[in-house]
Structure 1
Amino acid sequence: MNAKLFSPYEVKGVTIKNRIVMSPMCMYSSFSKDGKISDWHYPHYISRAVGQAGLIMIEATAVTEQGVISDQDLGIWSDEHIEGLKKLTAGMKQYGSKTAIQLAHAGRKSMYDGDIVAPSAIAFDEKSKEPKEMTVEEINETVEAFKEGARRSKEAGFDIIEIHGAHGYLINQFLSPITNKREDDYGGSRDKRFRLLKEVIEAVKTEWDGPLFTRISADEYHEDGNKMEDFVYFSKEMKKLGVDLIDCSSGAVVRARISPYPGYQVRYAETIRKEAGIATGAVGMITSGIQAEEILRNERADLIFIGRPLLRDPYWPRTAAGELGVELDPPYQYSRGW
């Protein structure tokens, strides 16, 4: 079978050998609490490269110490982080996978032991710390931190950068009218709420000329939140700025009851792809090769982001290939048992 799932995908001179992306998933395993790679990360990510994932995107990596989700998150706020990340990218690439990093800032959802920041002084919930409303100076410093994160990502050898604008973290907080109540140039209208992301993209691109993705939460599960027409608009604007693909997730701006089902987020990727004219990645309860193939063949998305199935099975691409009648070439060390 000529499976599209196992066809290459090229973006800005980077060729991903298949359409399977390991979705970024926090490991909370920087055990030294300094944001550095630990011994856990090497076998975790490199085994997925052995398993033949086309692109491996490492977890949300904080551009400032204040922007961590937990004190065991990875960081890229210092040049001291580059060495470990460089060793990790080299390890993944030797098995043919391309590598990506998700640059992030948690904003009001940070568990940092100190002041946390957000567009407005609104806590995530009654159990969460109230954030400090960011000054324009702090916004500028954060934009610069994303820029420096891009520089370090390049030095560490990543092929692709993704900006984390989803799941209720800082950029998502600026985009959403639920969490952004500012009355200056960074709040109010849709254009003003987009301003931080626009400036982050522009700053990143001064250091990075490779493929650039952005993850968004394309459904905020709240009547006062952004609607699909807003996300289509944001996606069109990102395309103008040079973003190559929108990674379409949903939720986590506020606590909401979600009833997921297989492929429940694919419609977001499909709508944005068609209406914004930009490549998209589909994610969310995509568990089989047959399901992934349907999404690609019907042009609902361009890449398939796989999360929990790759936690359960580092060789999920092999399982998917078997479903689709595709033969994968294993690393020679595994040839007798593949």
Structure 2
Amino acid sequence: MQARHTPAPPPARTTRIWSRILLSGLFLWVATVLVTFVTGNTNLVPTIVLLGSFLVPVTFVAWAYERAHGDNVTVELLFSAFVTAGVLGVLGASLLERLLLRPSPAMFIGLGAIEEGAKVAALVFVARHMTHRTPRDGLVLGATAGFGFAAFESAGYALNALVSEQGLNLLALVETEILRGLLTPLGHGLWTAIIGCVLFAASAGRRWRVTLGVLATFVGVSLLHALWDAAHGIAVRVTMVLTSLPWQERELRAGQLPELTSAQAHMIALMDWAGLALVSVAGVLWLLWLWSRCPRNGHPAGSRGGAQPQRGAREADRPDGDAGING
């Protein structure tokens, strides 16, 4: 009797790569910082800047890819979105901000719209050859483009913090990278993931479609970005309105920035962080709502894969993608 051949099961997909990236990268960054402080070897500064600026963005891209990627998102496309879209977004935003923005109370609104628009344009350029798009593809690629933007931007901030009038300030560099690393997951990657998800939901085929839902999402994301950037200025203004002393008001009327009391400085810091927290919560809740309505493996949320193949196929082929996302 001939033995029946049982095919070997496919290898299990490796997961939790993001945790290995985070732990190994964090170890290397800390080791480089310590060696640099001990030896004073400035040749190690670029290593600190690169590791500190790219560690958190790359970690979150790996985390998102493990949980949300589909057949349409390849590693090559992911790499292109991170590097190409990240660099193009930074370059486009820098040029437009220089040409269009002037110091004014509305400057942060323009800043948010320009940077989000530059990232979306770069995302569309990277994904231009995709023949089929799903909302989850847009979420992952949008987050990747946003994190690429954040990584290159953080490298610039780190270098600016490093150079001071007294020479190289390694402590300021380390503090800047720690702060931006902690805030990165709640900024560029989050906002571009939201607009990417909605844009890809409206553009399931080869043709890009800008619907009212896409425009409304872009406006909302740009406002979140603007509020994030303006949080410190808003905190200063509110604190001065509520607690300013007579001599401070005289200096403000004269166009001078008065010295703050200790209580005012603490109040500004508290309100600044509270503002960032509120913007972050709004963005995270928005993304979670979109995630709950994203199709899984080509089937809208609520359907069961092959249980209703004809219905799933029809809805996956609809021009508007997931109507619950696109509106």
Asked if Structure 1 and Structure 2 have the same fold, meaning a TM-score greater than 0.5 normalized by the shorter chain, the answer is no
Could you state the TM-score of these two structures normalised by the residue count of structure 2? 0.26
Q: For the pair shown, which has the larger CA radius of gyration, 1 or 2?
A: 2
Higher helix share: 2
Higher strand share: 1
